Structure 1
């Protein structure tokens, strides 16, 4: 199968679908390619989305795909295995050998959460192992919360989650010792620092019940927070010349872009967590819409230049 469209959007999450709907409403032929592995699929609900509070992530995406179809856009399931510049545009190849030709590309592949290697941690990720208080803090309010220390940012995370519970402990794990000033601030807010490495996440009756330290001590907790390292997903896209670079906040790597989503590769835009690791669903949606508008104007400019040249002949 081979198809040619104005824009191929790689990634069918909040950013990608918002971009695709905007482009379809601008009367662009647009096709979304999605591998079916949304980052937030394990979460019970999406929060902070006005009018959609608590909607399950997959339901939100289903609604987005239906909206896109209503404007003539479509979604292809499957991973991208190769992408390159070809014939003045781009050629995208899927795992089933489907070939897509596009004048422009929008990358909204999101990111991968690289978690500490602690047995039991990954299995609870998105349930009672969390990282974003604005996404899930309300759901664990007033519960005993443990902050798994992995870096100097862990003190910040502990103080942040203290807003949602007065029972917060900082499990030092691999984080450096708090500075005297940090220790003072933690103590003032009643956050206890527990030294020692965490070697296991404990579960009872299907829910997180605590952690076991290397010493054998068990620290009872009903929620655990951790700051993962974020890595932009570039599977199949390296042929475009896109590269992941360190993010300025030190949280991992992203695909650099300007304020409207243009990447360093002409004709390729980026939106959502792939370029902004800290973006929540609402900001990812906004970024997709903004990038789509800029991309559409780029196409308009190209078409207008062509019309001017044709008229002068």
Structure 2
């Protein structure tokens, strides 16, 4: 392509695919570059997404969204963006296609970051498969309702795990904190755990069986094992901030991209939507932000009359 593309979208999750749909319907030239690591792909079933009364598997949802933008001939490149550079009001996006070590560059008038985040997985075998089977889970908002009557563990630094455990008491009675630093809990925090009947389980290292079947058994230093129907790691996440190297883009204290109500970043022409922006990591939020971003992108570009 000799002429610059209207918009390049980095990321093919719900935010990126929604933005591609909107921009295509605005008759804007758009390309999606997707590395294939959307958090949605790990979801065994999501039941709080409007319109899917029986729930839907994350990969199935992504496939449906892909098929929808195929109706508008939006190219989806399977590859990894390695750098984004700004020059003369345009964006040079460098990427490598999957299975190809050579680097390519596309030029766009606008760029949308929908690259999301990656949850930190616990250091155990089969962590990805355990997540896909729903034994390791990452969103109490999405699936806490289904935990009623189950035994749930919150795994991570003690204070953080405790705050998540207190929230999870909304859904079930049997909640435990699994941490190696229980000594760091204050007297008030221990009182809070007692108030909410939250067990505190000390473990030096997580020892799960090499199995994708429930229950999950956590071994402690005293030899005791505790069984859980599911464990929620609260170990933090990895942002994709390497893409912003060399760009003057504002981020908050957690490294998340800061945007205004139109999803504009601090760099003119660069937009962001989805988990890379908002701490409320929900598909519906990502989709809404993508709609706002695509509308703002369309309005910022020169008119494209027939």
What is aligned with 2:104?
Answer: 98
Do structure 1's residue 165 and structure 2's residue 172 form an aligned pair?
Answer: yes
The 2-side partners of 1:160 and 1:42 are apart by 23
Do structure 1's residue 111 and structure 2's residue 117 form an aligned pair?
Answer: yes
Normalised to the residue count of structure 2, the TM-score between the two structures is 0.86
SS at match of 2:33: strand
The 2-side partners of 1:188 and 1:244 are apart by 37
Consecutive unaligned residues in structure 2, runs of 5 or more: 98-102
The 2-side partners of 1:265 and 1:213 are apart by 49
The 2-side partners of 1:292 and 1:205 are apart by 40
The 2-side partners of 1:174 and 1:202 are apart by 22
The 1-side partners of 2:96 and 2:2 are apart by 13
The 1-side partners of 2:94 and 2:2 are apart by 9
Whether contact under 8 Å (2:129, 2:212) holds in the other structure is no
Consecutive unaligned residues in structure 1, runs of 5 or more: 248-252, 305-313
Of 177, 186, 198, the match for 1:191: 198
What is aligned with 1:220?
Answer: 227
> What's the offset of the Cα at 1:2?
6.4
| C-alpha distance 281-205 of structure 1, shift in aligned 2 (>3 A) | closer
> What's the offset of the Cα at 1:124?
2.3
| C-alpha distance 73-175 of structure 1, shift in aligned 2 (>3 A) | farther
Do structure 1's residue 134 and structure 2's residue 141 form an aligned pair?
Answer: yes
The 1-side partners of 2:174 and 2:210 are apart by 19
What is aligned with 1:250?
Answer: none
Normalised to the residue count of structure 1, the TM-score between the two structures is 0.84
> What's the offset of the Cα at 1:207?
3.1
Whether contact under 8 Å (1:118, 1:198) holds in the other structure is no
SS at match of 1:286: helix
Q: Which moved more, 1:107-116 or 1:204-213?
A: 204-213
Aligned residues: 298
Aligned-residue CA RMSD (Å)? 2.7
Of 233, 237, 240, the match for 1:230: 237
> What's the offset of the Cα at 1:239?
4.5
What is aligned with 1:73?
Answer: 74
Of 281, 291, 294, the match for 1:292: 294
What is aligned with 2:207?
Answer: 200
| C-alpha distance 208-3 of structure 1, shift in aligned 2 (>3 A) | farther
The 1-side partners of 2:50 and 2:158 are apart by 33
Once the two structures are superposed, residues 245-272 of structure 1 have per-residue CA deviations (whole angstroms, 9 ceiling, x without a partner) of 523xxxxx21222222111221100100
The 2-side partners of 1:171 and 1:36 are apart by 31
The 2-side partners of 1:175 and 1:119 are apart by 25
The 1-side partners of 2:229 and 2:209 are apart by 10
Of 129, 132, 150, the match for 2:157: 150
What is aligned with 1:269?
Answer: 271
> What's the offset of the Cα at 1:118?
5.4
